Each structure stands twice: as structure tokens, then as C-alpha cells.
Structure 1
Amino acid sequence: MSMRSFALAAALVLVGPGAIASAEPAAAVAARAPQVAETRHTGRFNGKEVRYRALVSETFLTDEAGAPAASVVTTAYLREGADAASRPIMFIFNGGPGASTTPLHFGAFGPKRRLGEGAAQVMVDNPDSPLDAVDLVFIDPVGTGYSRPLPGHEGQPYWSRSGDAASVSKVIETWLAANGREASPRYLLGQSYGTTRAALIVKLGEVKFDGVLLFALVASPEGLEMPYVTSLPSYAAVAWWHRKIDRDGRTAQQIYDEAVEFARTDYVSALIRGASLPAAEKRRIAQRMSDLIGLPADYIESKDLRLKNEDFMFQLLADQGLRTGQLDGRATRRLDAPAQRPPYDDPGLNFSLEPPPAAPPAPPKVEGVAATSDEPPALEAYYRQTLGFESAETYNSLNLDVNSAWDFEGGGDANGFLGQAMQADPNLRLFWVSGLYDLTTPSYRGRYILDQSGVPPERLVAAQFPGGHSVFTEETNRKALADAVRAFVRP
């Protein structure tokens, strides 16, 4: 899969692409200071009542002449009555590129979750938010959420690996200074492409962090063998889920572990031998792979033992006329379904085993805000009426125009910068989360690349969940994930 296709597949919660340029007149921007909205709330998180401030604020990024060039909107939730010097704070962003923080903000960690579709969307309390333990700052990079290039300026300087990392790092540095939090323990959380952004921010070194959290790690192993070796265990877990292999009393985790052991021993040895591998040995390896991942040995052998995601996803359930998802291999879609633009063609997009919420008999109120058909979408109603933030922009959950404009600057795996930073700073810790059924960022691929990047294992916390790309879509995982995050920020 190309990096461009990967980026599209890894964007999670979607709305239409929308416009990139700011809707605000240039004169209006020039005449005002960055906007700030502050409100106070009470919630119950982890069984504890928490009073907190919500702070929605703009940070103006400037051009070379010092003029405001872009506005980045952050949404912070800060526990009241806590000592700022000892209270940990976490800066959070998603990936894409071009994706807002929506999945993490309104699906995992924010004090409210968004449920339902269309006019039936509602905002409900999120008891699993870790706000009892850590302050949260959600960052929507330029072109996502309410963040925009300002009139007369282009967004392209921010739509590259280096430009994006520098801009988000500057936002964090500015936010810490503006809010008197330079002494606070600091954590950085990125999901999907956001893991690459996090590594590049750490490399810049403009802000020091106590810990980095990587969800659905983007890893790019090089060579003729390792891309295939590191995918195989996730194929085995998905095959287990769909009962395409003999479970023989084994759990998905046991099958995954068995596949990892095979992948880094017999399988990688066979791939290294290439054309010199004897025919009988090739057949034996193909049969062993078949037993693990459910594809016919003949098909595996015809692919020279090297399977791409497309081979696995479209062949595993072909006898049923189905394909699997990529963001979540448990999902399925008919092979003859109408073609859709990526990433909408992936049945794993937003997949969850939880049933959709039933439509309420009457529009519920969230802190006095009713989500009715006459109101804007629940998310925008929440910003305007609960958080008191008024914007001329429309909240953009995913901007495919940003994704199309992105400059990957040659690509390459950025995770080595994390290993280098951890070698230089003996106090820096890493928290890595992966989903057992995620084929987009396979779990073993993440583990392999972290090991090769020189990350000290004693300072790595690894958490694997029975889920897909976004492990928090199901309640059991969401609660366990929040508990693991609490433990990480309280070492």
C-alpha cells in the first residue's frame, strides 16, 4: 500500500472534505486577538466527581514577517483545584493526515462522547475519560476542526511532515507558556499518522516530554522480508475471528503469539532464501501459513509466500462473497458492493461490536443543549452552546483536501527518533497501544520497529487490545485503555 493510500485508510471519523480556506474576512482577523472561550463544568470520571475548566483557544501561527498566517484551535479540559506544577497534562492529536481529534476527543478521552448518526447524534457523559488523573489538550492541526490558514495565506507550509510537526510543536510550546504550565509533567499522544507527528515533534526537541503515547503505530520496516513477516500475526488473528482456521481450543491471542514465533523463525528464514528455497520446503512453509491464516496453500505458494493486505482481505472470505476490513479485520463487506472512494470503501471504518444506540424518544439535553433537527450537528452545538466557542468555520472532522496536498518528504520511518530520544533522556517513557485485528498498522509490525529503533524495553509499556485500529470503540476496551493511561501518567 502506498503512503498516500495508507493515510487515507487510516483517517477514522469522517465528515465531508469541506473548504480549506478561512471563512473569516481578512480585515476581521487583523483586527482581533486570538479567541478564547472558558467555561466551568462538573463530571464523574473513574467513579470520582471532578470539577474542571474547559478552555477552547486559538493560537496564531505567524509567517516569516511575523504576521498571523494560520489559526490552530485547541480544546483543553483542566481539573480545578489541582497543583499546576505536579498535575500532568497530555497533548492529543489524531492522524490522517487531515484528520481532526474527533475519534480521541469524542470517542475515547474527552468528558463527552458523541453517539448516533446525522440528526440523531447526541452528546453523552463519558465516565471513562481520564480527566480525574490528567489534564487533556486536544489539538486540531491546520485544516482540521476549526483550525484554518488565515486569509491571504496558504496552508501548504503546514501540510508536510516537517511543517506540520513544527507547527504543532509551536502550538504546544505557546499553550504551556500562556497557561503557566511549563513546570507540569507533560505527555504527548498521537494516533495513526499522529504517531509519526509525535516522533518528529520529539526529534525537534523544542518541548520536553515525560512520556509519549503511540496508538496504532505507523511503522515502515524496510527490506524484502519484514513487511510480510510483520503482517502475518495479524492475519492469523483475523482468520481466527472468522473461523477460517482450526481454533483447536486456542484463543486469538494464542494464535497471534504462535504466528509471531513462526514469523520470526521459519517464515523469515524461508523468505531470505528466496529462489534457493527447495520446492518441498516452500510447500511446507505455505501449508504452515495456511494453517495459521486460512488461505489455501496453493494460493500462498503462487504468491511466493509473500502476501499483501489486499491478497488477504479479498481472499479470506471470498467463498462467502465477502472481503474483510483493513482498519478492523473483523468487519466485512460484499465483494460486489458498489465502489467507494477510499477510505469509505473500508468496512473496518468505525467498526464496533457495540450495537448503535437506540434513537431517543425525545431530544436529550446536554448541559442545557438540545440536539434536534433544528440544531447544528451535536459536535458544533456542543462547542457553541456548552463550551461557548463561536467560529465562522465549520468543524472539519476529516479534510481530504489536506490529505491530497500532503508532502511526505520522501517518507521513511520516523520511529528511530523516539529510540534516539529515549537513549538521550533516561527519564523518557513510551506507551504503545495496538489492536489485535488492525491490518492497517499491524501489532507485530509496531513491536518490531520499536525494538529496531532502540527503545529501551524497561521503559516501554505495551498494551494490546482485542480491537481494530481504534481500540476504544468498544466499552470494555475503552475502560481498560483509560485505566492503562492513568497508570502511565502516575508512574
Structure 2
Amino acid sequence: TILMKDEEGEAKAKIFFVAYEKLDVEDVDKRPITFAFNGGPGSSSVWLHLGILGPKRVLLDDDGKAMAPPFSLVDNESSVLDKTDLVFIDPVSTGYSRPAKGEDPKQFHGVQEDVQSVGDFIRLYTTREGRWSSPKFLAGESYGTTRASALSGYLQDRHGMYLNGIVLVSAVLDFQTIRFTVGNDLPYVLFFPSYTATAWYHKKLPEDLQSMDLEDLMKESREYAQGPYATALLMGDRLSGEEYAGHVRQIARLTGLSEYYVERSNLRIQIFQFTKELLRDEKRTVGRFDSRIKGIDREAVGDSPDYDPSYAAVQGPYTGCLNDYVRKDLNFKTDLPYEILTGRVHPWNYEDYENRYVNVGDTLQEAISKNPYLKVFVANGYYDLATPFLATEYTFAHLGLDASLRGNVSMGYYEAGHMMYTHKESLEKLGEDLDTFYDQTLQLVVGE
């Protein structure tokens, strides 16, 4: 842990981290360092740590489903440790990180508060370890992509720390793209192709669509969602009866839902309605983090699932393996519970975004504009119903980057969910894509 203090020397928090550094390095200035964290808010860094980036990974079956407990770790052939040193950060109140005695935890639980505490940790670690001249990267997942994008600006403006690259896994920079609030039609459009992908996976589409390659099908679903469907939602009650009926048929065709259900939904299917409805006839639900995973609810009635089966599939394995690993392999002893994904951080402070949606896209755009060598890689899961891929595409298409800088952003797509690395084939592909990203980004570093 690192004890974080204010400028008067008063203890504020203990932040737990796990660092991996290559020891036989002649010139540490040429060795990259990556600071990684997950999201939530309230999540520890266990997912990126023991899922894709670190030297060990949780053993699941090839589809990403848990095996019988107890659970175990195996060597991670897809780790990026051959490319970069790694520092996994648990923000205050997650993992083993805690506020100092007498300190109010609320001072760390908010968009800006979180960026400041994590950013100040990165500065302090970089200073103590003598890494100011090393190429520097951030890696975030889910809300961690919100944090990473905000940090790109905070580190530049507050500490003068310029980054080489940012890895965004299952990105959400603009919360309007995922919030199903009254009057906000955007998520219905942006979730739509992910609904199609899910229905295709579970074989709920008409035969002609079911026989298509997934990427070709995604192209067709994107075109309908961003064209006729978006226009229909924009029209609202001005649609004629004939037009409405036509969209009912097309939505049902591309989502696997019945025309009866779609007609009564006002053409708008919210995420939890979809995860409950798609396999209702089988008395099954589908996951939010990974819609390939099926769940069993107490009852088949209702309009939302009892739980997320895709989170249940990974919670136990990752929790058990982390607790064993830090004690037996890393020799870190504590009686504290490791907060994998905690509600202690709520209510999260969104004060700076009152009466509007959180959007850190402008921060990332400005960071890239100020530092045109900053590269971004975004990993997307086709079966991610938490941060759907079309929402990410929309966000980056509206980032406002100058045409000369749009090539700084690259994307990868995987036939898996939010934590796409739990799927063996996607793990291997993501590992290869990350290797390429680091190699290409580091080619810009003088002397590399």
C-alpha cells in the first residue's frame, strides 16, 4: 500500500496496488509502465489483473463459464508483461484500499474526487519509482474507461504528465448512450445491434439472418438502427399506423422478440426487458455483462431478471483466486475483506454533471489535441449489454477530434461480452491486439 497524504502531511488514505516490474532492465527509461484499474464505480482492479493483463489468469472453461470450486490460476500467455511494467490500482474503498483513520470516505467517492485521488497516486508512484522518463500508459475497463479518459486531462493539466497510450476495455465516456431515461431515445438505437447479436447467438432469429456471418449481420443491424429505426424514434407519435407496424415487424425480426411484445413496447426495448424476454419461453434469462450466459429466475413472469448470470459466473472464481494469490504468491497479509465490487462508494458524487449526463469525451479529445502522440485502443464485445459497441462507436464519432488525429484511435471487436477475455478465443485475440497496440505506439518514442 501507499499512504496518500495532503500537502500538510496529513494522512488521507491507504491505496493498495500490485506492481510487476521487469528487474533486468539496463535503462528503465525505455521500459514502459501501465497503470490499470477497473470500474464500477466500486470495482477493484481484479478483473484486468487476473483476466488479461497480468502474468496469471483465472481458469474458466473456453466459453468463460466457471468450473466447480475451488478455483485456480494458470499462466497467462496473453499478458502484456513482456511489453510493459504493470501497476494495478484499487481506488479508495475498493480492494484493500481504505480511507485513513478519521477521514470521510465521501471525499474519494465522486467523478472528480476519484480522478484526483487516482491521479495523485499515479504521480506519487511515478516519482518514487523514478519513472517520469518511462513511456506511460493507462488501462481502464468499464467505468475505468471514464476514469482513464478524465485522467488523460488531469495528469496533463495538474501534473504535466503526458501519456503515450490508453487502453479502454468496454468503454463508456458518454453516459447518455447507456441511460434509459424518459425522453432519451439514444440508448435504444445504440443497444440495438447488441440485441441482434444476442438473439443470433441463442438462435432466435429467422433462418436467413441466422445463417449470416456475425459481422455481416452486425452491419445490417447497424444500418437499420442508425437509419430507419433512429428516424422512427425521432418521429415519435407522428408515425403512421402503417409505418409503426412496419417497424414492429423489423424490430421483431432483428431482435428475436415477438411482434406482440414489440408492438406493446412503443418500439423501445430497455436492456433488462430484453434480457428477461428473449428466452422467456425457455424460462431463462441472458446476462448483462455477457449475453451469451443464461440465468434461471425464480419466476418467468416480470419485466427484469433477478440477477445477472454473467456476473455470477465470474464473481466466485475471481474473488477466490485473488484472495489466495495475494496471500500465498504475493505474501500480502491482512484480515481485511478484499472488496471486489462494493456498494460502499455510493452515492457516487456527480455534482459537476448535475442536470446533464456525464461525458468525458471532451477531456480525451483535448488531451489528444494537446498531445498528438497519444494513442487510444478500444476493445468491444459484441455480447456486452452494459457498454454496447455501437454506443462506443457513436461516442468516438462525436469526440470532435480533428481529422488529422482520428487515426490515433483504433478498435478491436470480440465475440464475447463486457469482460471479453473470459472467453478463451477472445482472450488470445485481445492479447494479440494489445501487443500490436503497444508495438505501434512505442515506435513513436525516440530511441525505441
Match for 1:216 among 170, 187, 211? 170
SS state at 2:175 partner: coil
Residue 124 of structure 1: CA displacement?
2.6
Whole-Å Cα distance in 1 between the matches of residues 372 and 184 of structure 2? 34
Alignment of 1:32-71 (within 5 A): 58-63=1-6, 65-71=8-14
SS state at 1:132 partner: coil
Under a length normalisation based on structure 1, what TM-score does the superposition of the two structures give? 0.78
Whole-Å Cα distance in 1 between the matches of residues 324 and 9 of structure 2? 34
Aligned to 1:349: 311
Quick one: which amino acid aligns to residue 102 of structure 2? G
CA offsets, 1:21-80, max 9 Å, x none?
xxxxxxxxxxxxxxxxxxxxxxxxxxxxxxxxxxxxx22222464311101122111122
Whole-Å Cα distance in 2 between the matches of residues 343 and 130 of structure 1? 36
CA offsets, 1:332-373, max 9 Å, x none?
22343599xx99811121548xxx99xxxxxxxxxxxxxxxx
SS state at 1:306 partner: coil
2:274 counterpart of 1:312? yes
2:418 counterpart of 1:469? yes
2:284 counterpart of 1:325? no
CA offsets, 1:249-292, max 9 Å, x none?
20222222211011111111111111111111111122111111
Aligned to 2:364: 418
Whole-Å Cα distance in 1 between the matches of residues 195 and 9 of structure 2? 51
Q: Is the 8 A contact 2:284 2:300 kept in 1?
A: no
Q: Is the 8 A contact 2:272 2:305 kept in 1?
A: no
CA offsets, 1:85-135, max 9 Å, x none?
122111100011111111111122211223478972333322221111111
Match for 1:460 among 405, 409, 413? 409
Quick one: which amino acid aligns to residue 395 of structure 1? Y
CA offsets, 1:298-354, max 9 Å, x none?
322322212111221122112222221111111222343599xx99811121548xx
Aligned to 2:241: 279
Whole-Å Cα distance in 1 between the matches of residues 398 and 93 of structure 2? 34
Judging changes above 3 Å, is the alpha-carbon distance between structure 1 residues 143 and 125 closer, same or farther for their aligned structure 2 residues? same
Q: Is the 8 A contact 1:255 1:292 kept in 2?
A: no
Under a length normalisation based on structure 2, what TM-score does the superposition of the two structures give? 0.85
Whole-Å Cα distance in 2 between the matches of residues 302 and 192 of structure 1? 32
Alignment of 1:130-169 (within 5 A): 130-169=80-119
Aligned to 1:370: none
Quick one: which amino acid aligns to residue 164 of structure 2? D
Judging changes above 3 Å, is the alpha-carbon distance between structure 1 residues 467 and 144 closer, same or farther for their aligned structure 2 residues? same
Match for 1:390 among 327, 333, 353? 333
Quick one: which amino acid aligns to residue 195 of structure 2? Y
Aligned to 2:186: 226
2:47 counterpart of 1:103? yes
Whole-Å Cα distance in 1 between the matches of residues 132 and 140 of structure 2? 21
2:177 counterpart of 1:235? no
Gaps of 5+ in 1: 1-57, 358-375
Whole-Å Cα distance in 1 between the matches of residues 162 and 221 of structure 2? 38
Whole-Å Cα distance in 1 between the matches of residues 193 and 41 of structure 2? 27
Match for 2:263 among 281, 297, 301? 301
2:402 counterpart of 1:437? no
Whole-Å Cα distance in 2 between the matches of residues 89 and 343 of structure 1? 41
SS state at 1:189 partner: strand
Quick one: which amino acid aligns to residue 383 of structure 1? V
Residue 294 of structure 1: CA displacement?
1.1
Q: Is the 8 A contact 1:313 1:324 kept in 2?
A: yes
Match for 1:244 among 204, 211, 214? 204
Match for 1:407 among 335, 342, 349? 349
Quick one: which amino acid aligns to residue 242 of structure 1? H
Whole-Å Cα distance in 2 between the matches of residues 73 and 138 of structure 1? 9
Quick one: which amino acid aligns to residue 410 of structure 2? V
Whole-Å Cα distance in 1 between the matches of residues 207 and 36 of structure 2? 39
CA RMSD of aligned residues (A): 2.5
SS state at 1:280 partner: helix
Residue 231 of structure 1: CA displacement?
0.8
Whole-Å Cα distance in 2 between the matches of residues 387 and 338 of structure 1? 45
Whole-Å Cα distance in 2 between the matches of residues 305 and 394 of structure 1? 45
Whole-Å Cα distance in 2 between the matches of residues 461 and 469 of structure 1? 18
SS state at 2:261 partner: helix
Aligned to 2:136: 186
Q: Is the 8 A contact 1:187 1:211 kept in 2?
A: yes
Aligned to 1:14: none
CA offsets, 1:152-172, max 9 Å, x none?
212111111111110000111
Identity %: 33
SS state at 1:131 partner: coil
State the number of aligned residues. 410
Residue 242 of structure 1: CA displacement?
1.0
Residue 138 of structure 1: CA displacement?
0.4
Aligned to 1:368: none
Quick one: which amino acid aligns to residue 104 of structure 1? L
Judging changes above 3 Å, is the alpha-carbon distance between structure 1 residues 64 and 159 closer, same or farther for their aligned structure 2 residues? farther
Judging changes above 3 Å, is the alpha-carbon distance between structure 1 residues 268 and 343 closer, same or farther for their aligned structure 2 residues? closer
SS state at 1:180 partner: coil
Whole-Å Cα distance in 2 between the matches of residues 441 and 469 of structure 1? 7
Gaps of 5+ in 2: 60-65, 178-182, 441-448
